[in-house]
């Protein structure tokens, strides 16, 4: 299946960009609206938020679906990733509000283009991001070559060590292998987050401070762990709770479909946690039909106990969750 090339401009004023998400104004909104998947969420300025394909950067302002506040991962590296993205697309003179949350002024509206195949369930195009122009028609169907991929921000973020690889179903094998080349080089050279990453070596999640300020871990793991700790005040029991959500994943080491918790190593009554696979060894299921706050709902003791006794085979039945999602 070919990709669609869509030209436009990148914006940050009055937004809260981070290292893997930015607002995009297509020159022709029809090209975005015609993409398969969910309905794109344009705002009044005809800007749509992008989700960058294959990468996940440290969180700068994460709010768990169940609430509890706004959290971040170590900000020095998180902000480096964000600065790298803005620099890549040519945005300069960025000024923030006093909380460093919202951009109040910037030289933005810079030209570029995205290469995308679909809209995900939150209304964001899943995109490879490129700066500048290209000698191809706006809206053209193209096959993304590995050579072209290397010019994307997605590839460069992995190569420079600003992002974790986070792969979902649908990413072509040759593109994934090319991205892995960047990951392995960055890890071998201990660039940026790879100099301090503790995802695979393990962390002692003794407090929220430990995961928000002290150690860097894969953001997907951070989000699950942060929400659990906000609700329970401890990391003890995290693996068991994650197991209840049955989050499907393909293990590329053994070519086996299983669940995310399979690769979480945590002893009972311990706050020590590690991922037993490298991030690039896993392919996640985007679960387009699954409720956004499924893991959040599991924090409810009543439904958590019910699901623990129910074989839901990778999906949470709607009738079981309906009352709790209302």
pLDDT at residue 298 in the model: 78
pLDDT of residue 25: 99
Q: What is the mean pLDDT of residues 125-150?
A: 98
The architecture CATH gives domain 3-195: Beta Barrel (2.40)
> Which band of pLDDT confidence, cut at 50, 70 and 90, is reported for residue 193?
very high
The model's pTM is 0.90
Which of 24-28, 50-54, 99-103 is predicted least confidently?
Answer: 99-103
**Average pLDDT over every residue of 184-204:** 97
For residue range 139-172, list pLDDT tens digits in order: 999 999 999 999 999 999 999 999 999 999 999 9
Q: Do 88 and 159 form a contact (C-beta atoms < 8 A)?
A: no
**Mean pLDDT, rounded, of the chain:** 91
Q: Where in the chain is the domain with CATH 2.40.50.90?
A: 3-195
pLDDT (0 to 100) of residue 324:
33
> Residue 277: its pLDDT value, please?
98
> Which pairing describes strands 110-119 and 3-11: parallel, antiparallel, or unpaired?
antiparallel
Per-residue model confidence (pLDDT) at position 292: 64
Task: Assess whether pLDDT exceeds 90 at residue 210.
Answer: yes
Mean pLDDT of 293-304: 68
Is 304 a residue whose pLDDT tops 90?
A: no
Kindly tell me if the per-residue pLDDT of 75 is higher than 50. yes
């Amino acid at each position: 299946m070919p990709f669609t090339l869509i030209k436009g401009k990148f914006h940050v004023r009055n937004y809260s960009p981070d290292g893997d998400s930015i607002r995009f104004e297509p020159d022709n909104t029809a090209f975005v609206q015609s993409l398969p998947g969910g309905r794109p969420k344009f705002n009044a300025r005809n800007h749509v938020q992008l989700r960058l394909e294959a990468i996940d950067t440290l969180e700068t302002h994460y709010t768990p679906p169940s609430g509890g506040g706004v959290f971040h991962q170590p900000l020095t590296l998180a902000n480096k990733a964000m600065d790298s993205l803005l620099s890549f697309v040519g945005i300069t003179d960025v000024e923030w509000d006093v909380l460093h949350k919202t951009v109040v002024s910037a030289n933005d509206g810079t030209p570029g283009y995205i290469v995308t195949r679909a809209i995900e369930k939150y209304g964001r195009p899943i995109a490879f991001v490129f700066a500048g122009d290209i000698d191809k028609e706006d809206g053209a169907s193209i096959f993304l070559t590995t050579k072209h991929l290397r010019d994307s921000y997605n590839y460069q973020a992995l190569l420079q060590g600003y992002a974790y690889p986070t792969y979902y179903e649908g990413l072509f094998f040759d593109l994934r292998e090319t991205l892995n080349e960047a990951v392995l080089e960055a890890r071998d050279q201990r660039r940026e987050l790879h100099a301090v990453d503790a995802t695979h070596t393990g962390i002692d999640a003794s407090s929220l401070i430990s995961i928000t300020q002290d150690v860097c871990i894969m953001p997907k793991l951070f989000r699950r762990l942060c929400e659990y700790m906000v609700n329970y005040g401890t990391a003890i029991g995290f693996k068991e709770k994650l197991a209840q959500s049955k989050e499907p994943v393909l293990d590329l080491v053994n070519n086996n479909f299983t669940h995310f918790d399979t690769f979480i190593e945590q002893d009972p009554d311990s706050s020590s946690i590690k991922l037993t696979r490298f991030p690039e060894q896993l392919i996640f299921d985007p679960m387009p039909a699954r409720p956004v706050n499924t893991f959040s709902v599991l924090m409810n003791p009543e439904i958590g106990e019910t699901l623990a006794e129910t074989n839901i085979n990778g999906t949470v039945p709607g009738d079981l969750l309906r009352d709790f999602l209302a």
